[in-house]
Each structure stands twice: as structure tokens, then as C-alpha cells.
Amino acid sequence: MVKEMKMKRFACLLLATVALAVPAAFADEEHNHDKHGAQAASAAKLTSGVVRKIDKAAGKISIAHDPIENLGMSKMTMVFRAKEPGMLDAVKEGDKVNFAADRIQGVLTVTRIEAAK
């Protein structure tokens, strides 16, 4: 009888532990999903700038830009890597542009660029 009570107590303790752990795991997953969704929405926001220099061989572009919210950057001139080399064909030095940038594997990268209208 004592052995049976110990087994029931152990089963209840195990069940309670699982019951508490599973919702916490899903809550953490939802939190991370929301964070990535917010980053994606923030990354989609375009920033104004002026192309200062293009280095097609290196796949880089220098842009004097307004603040970039998703990167926490103030107004300045920065060199970015182009996500796709063909993006650099769409603009030329001196062009006013609207662009999106993000940090991809630690590198500041233009993910979208278009001539300003």
C-alpha cells in the first residue's frame, strides 16, 4: 500500500511538472514569433537617402540616409552590402532613393532599393 501511494504521488508530481512546462514552452515560441514579426514589419519600412558611391565589384553601396529605425541608426552615411548584386544596377550615384536595410549575419545589408519619386 505504501509503495502504491508513492507511485501515485510520483505520477501526480510528474503530471504537474509536464502540465506547467508545456504551456511555458509554447508561450516562449509565441513570443519569439511576435518578435520576428515585428522585426519583419520594421525592416519593410523604407528609409530615404542619396546614393554616394556604388562598388559593383564588391557588391556594396554607400548611402547618405535618414535614420533607420530597425537598425537604431541615426542620420549618417554608411556603406551597405547589396543583398542581390543586380540591385545596384537599378540606381546610380547621386540618385535619391528609398531603401530597406537589415543586419544579415552581422553585415549591414540593403534588402530593397528603389529610386525615389
CATH number at residue 109: 2.40.50.320
Whether residue 35 has pLDDT greater than 80: no
What is the rounded average pLDDT of the residues 34-54? Answer: 70
Containing structural domain, residue 109: 46-115
Q: Contacts for 26-32 with beta carbons within 8 Å, 24 or more apart?
A: none
Query: How many distinct structural domains can be found in the chain?
Result: 2
- Same domain for 61 and 83, yes or no, is yes
What is the rounded average pLDDT of the residues 100-104? Answer: 95
Among 89, 39, 99, 40, CA closest to 64: 99
- Same domain for 37 and 53, yes or no, is no
- Same domain for 61 and 102, yes or no, is yes
Calculate the alpha carbon distances from 34 to 22, 30, 31, 53 in Å. Answer: 19, 6, 5, 36
- Same domain for 108 and 61, yes or no, is yes
- Same domain for 52 and 78, yes or no, is yes
Whether residue 41 has pLDDT greater than 60: no
Lowest mean pLDDT among 23-27, 29-33, 56-60, 99-103: 29-33
